[in-house]
A and B are shown apart, each in its own frame.
Chain A
Amino acid sequence: NAGVMQNPRHLVRRRGQEARLRCSPMKGHSHVYWYRQLPEEGLKFMVYLQKENIIDESGMPKERFSAEFPKEGPSILRIQQVVRGDSAAYFCASRPGLAGVTDTQYFGPGTRLTVL
């Protein structure tokens, strides 16, 4: 049973370009979370999605960031017009949705974004 998949593992972008990060949840999981790990700031929640719905985006910056989880295919975190401050590790986690807040979230290996 494959775990949470993320690609690319490493992404380099120049300032002003777009970054697209993809996450395929574990088989049977319909709930996806995105977190960002910044140096010296720890892991922070960004957005929570279910298939075709954004449930909670309270942790995501209002501008330049967007997320989706289509009916078919992976979840996408999109960052437009990247700036150096966006350099971080972005992690996706999924859970099955059987036990609410007590569900275990399983994390992907992360995408390390570097903005030049």
Chain B
Amino acid sequence: AQSVAQPEDQVNVAEGNPLTVKCTYSVSGNPYLFWYVQYPNRGLQFLLKYITGDNLVKGSYGFEAEFNKSQTSFHLKKPSALVSDSALYFCAVPGGSQGNLIFGKGTKLSVKP
């Protein structure tokens, strides 16, 4: 069965510092991986996805993610965090051929001034 894990419930970062939000995956077949962000009382916004090709994927709002096949990881990164990046971040994989997404439990990112 397809699954993703986000090992950290919360990540705290000071503004201007680099941030990493971790995600590991377990899939059969080719890994397709997604990152979404959810601001309070809002829907999910797509950040980026890995389908194939370059292991470093660039996305919205200055975020990027590194696909690592040997470590089965797809960590989300940003070189310099902003207070406005504070939100809930979800990693996801397709659950099957119908495309429904299976989400990690989410990581709350808190960026302090």
A42-B106, A101-B94 known; A108+B99 contact, CB < 8 A: no
Residues of B within 8 A of A (CB): 32, 34, 36, 41-46, 49, 51, 90, 94-106
Contact of A91 with B by CB under 8 A: yes
Cβ contacts under 8 Å, B41 to chain A: 112
Instruction: Evaluate contact between B43 and A100: CB separation under 8 angstroms.
Output: no
For A, the interface residue count at a CB cutoff of 8 angstroms equals: 28
Cβ contacts under 8 Å, B99 to chain A: 31, 33, 48, 95, 100-101, 103, 105
Q: Which of A3-28 contact B (CB under 8 A)?
A: 4, 6
Instruction: Evaluate contact between B97 and A110: CB separation under 8 angstroms.
Output: no
Q: Can you spell out 29 A-B residue pairs with CB atoms less than 8 angstroms apart?
A: A4-B43, A33-B101, A35-B101, A42-B90, A42-B104, A42-B105, A43-B44, A43-B101, A43-B106, A45-B100, A45-B101, A45-B102, A55-B98, A56-B100, A91-B43, A91-B44, A93-B44, A100-B97, A100-B99, A101-B32, A102-B49, A102-B94, A104-B46, A105-B99, A106-B46, A107-B45, A107-B46, A108-B43, A112-B41
